[in-house]
Structures are given as structure tokens and as C-alpha cells.
Structure 1
Amino acid sequence: MKTRSDLLLRDALATVFVRGAAGDAAARRALEELDSWSPASPPGPALGELRSEDETPLFEADGPLTEKFAGLEGYVRDRARRFTSALAWIQEDGATGDPIACASAAWDAGLFFEVHELLEPVWMQERGKRRHVLQGLIMAGAALHHLTQDNLAGARGLLREAARRLSEATPEEPLDLARFGRELGELAQLIENGQVKHTDEIQKLPRLAPRASD
């Protein structure tokens, strides 16, 4: 079990987002309450029930984060904003419950860790070439998460491996994964050249875009 408070908070919030993306009503309520959360006001009932993996409540009854997570308010606000954006796109596209479409929305919202969390259960059930492709998407999310943590070597290696796996994508995939993979490879080269050292420095984020119709 994890012990670092930032990782426990990250995982707890990511779990709520994944459930919300799948259409879970209680998780959606918690995410709505998170979007309007203020340390100066009591959390909504769904938010007040959230616990980390070690069963620590995330929020005090009067509003602030509990002592274990004190100092992480900025992270919570950032995640709340990104969750709201991603869920709006998911609903707009009618993608609720579609892990790959939800992962695309999460990617566009900068929720790179959550891309991994959305896709891993699907990857574990797949076999054959599509399993490799899904692992490529998971690696892409992990790579950008590493980049947010200033782990350049880890990001670069994962981007290149993701690009290799996504090159195996078939034309039946609704997203243009081959193009996405090429763009990931280009980003890996920019990192190697010292032109990108953090996600904030990416001028054009690789896009998980739909395949162009013939």
C-alpha cells in the first residue's frame, strides 16, 4: 500500500474520475461537488464520503482537506478543473463508458495518469495485436505523466516504446493511432534534443484524433 500522501490523493481522485467516466452516478455527483469545492465551506455529501486507499477521509467536515493531505489544495483544484473539462467532452461526444474515447478526452484535458487508469482494465482483458496497441496508449499516458514530474529519461523511453506499439494499429481503430504514434516519436526526439523539458513546453500536444474518413 502507498504511504505518500500525494500519491494516495492522486489515486483516490483518479478512481472517482474513472468511475464517473463510466457513468457511475455517485462518482459524477462527487466530481460535480469537487468542481465547486472550497476549503471554507463544508464539502457536499458525496465528496465527504471519499476515502484514500488507507481509508483516510479526503475532506474535513467543515471543508478543508484532512491533515494528511494538507498543502495539496492546488492539486485538487487543478484536477477538479481538468475532470470537469474531460467529462464535458465525454458527454458531448456520447462517449460515457467507452474507455478509449474517455481516454482521448482525458488526454486532451491533461489527465495523463488517468489515461493509464482508464485503459489498464481493458488492456488486461485483451489479447493479440490490440493488446499491444492498448499498451501503447497506456505508455503514452505514463510518458506524459513522467514528463510532468520532470523525469525526462523515463518520458522519452516510454514515448518511443508507445510509438512502436501504436504502429501496429489496424485501420479498424476509430482513432488515428498510427499518426498519434508518429507524433509521440517526434515528441521523444524533441525531449532528447533538449527542446522540451516539461509538458508546459509542448507547443503542439500529440492528438488522439478520429481517423479521417476516405
Structure 2
Amino acid sequence: MKVVIFGGSGFLGKGIVSELLKDESNDITIISRHAKPNDTVAKLNWVKSDLLRDANWHQSVQDADWVIDCIGILFPNIKKGITYRKGIFRPAQVIIDFLVTLPIDARPKFMFISANRGPFFMAPYMHAKRQVEQLTDNLVSDQVKIVYPTVMYDKSRPYSVMMALGMGILTLIPGINILMRGYEPMKRSRVSKEIAKLLCGEKSFIAARRR
């Protein structure tokens, strides 16, 4: 299975790559603005490309069975010009616009990493995610998978473990636990395993929003 991952060098992207590499038949390509790190696994393909500015990624997408959009930001940085539109919506829009130009019977399937729920202060983040979900209506429905993880944690990112621990404690407090439904932290490896299942045609709870 040929899988192209945008944002494959990010937190979730690394987890997905690690999971997919367990199957030697998988052919994985990462599209990134950054150069290929020296410690990258030899069998991992790497294309340096800024998808908003060049077309270096087009051929890899055309040859793929699946395209995964892992590009995203949790918080904007106005001083650096990083907004939810630039960090979430526009990359997905460019990818989808290109997919639409390909013949339907030769078009790779598309997976978008959305989010299950977001607190009130993350409303702009959730809005950007939902905008992309609407964009996928331009694709054939059986060629699209949207996944809805909650906050993820992994020991490679210590602060994510601390945050998950704090949220986990809140889910144990009567009254507050009701408000925490749909926010329960998920281990990155579990999310990656569920995504791998979907890529293989299996079902997963992560393919639907949960309350």
C-alpha cells in the first residue's frame, strides 16, 4: 500500500509512520517543507516540498493509494503570521483541489485528521477543522475518511503526558466527568493503530465523533 503523509514529521505523523512501517509491504512517502533528517529510516521516502508554493508533491500523490493530511496547528501565532487558515484550512484545500483534477478511478483516497471535540476557547480551531470536513464533500464519499482523535499523548513529548494526566484526573471527578466526555486523552500509538486499521479497510471508532 502506497501512503503519502503530509505533516509526517509532526507529532501524530511520526506515530502513523512508525505504525505503518511495521508492515514491510507499505510504501510510505512523507511530504515536508523540511529536508530529510539524517536519522530517517532508509525505506522511508521523503519529498521536500512547500505544497502552498510548489508542485513537487504532485507525482507522489498521483501514485498513492492513500493521502493523509496531518498538517495542523493547535494555536495560532499572529506575530509569525501563523493562522488556522494557513495552518489547517489552506493546506487541505490545496490537496483536495489537486485530487479533484485526477480521474476518479485513479484518484487516491484521502484521510483528514480532524478533532473529536474542542473547549470553548478552541472554537476557531474547531471551525477550521469543520471547514476542511466540508471541503471533502468535493470528493467521492467512499474515497474519504475523516478521523476524530482527542488530545493525544506520548512519552516522546513529556508535556503531553502531563496534560493527559491532568485531564484524566478530571474525568474521575463526579460532575466534572460529564463535562469531560469526548475529551478523554488518547495515546498516540492507539490513534496510529486505529488509523492503520482504516487504511486497510477495517472499521474503527475513531472514524466518528463521540460524546
TM-score in terms of structure 1 length? 0.32
Hey, which of these two has a bigger chunk of strand by percent? 2
Hey, which of these two has a bigger chunk of helix by percent? 1
Structure with more relative contact order (C-alpha pairs < 8 Å, separation 6 or more): 2
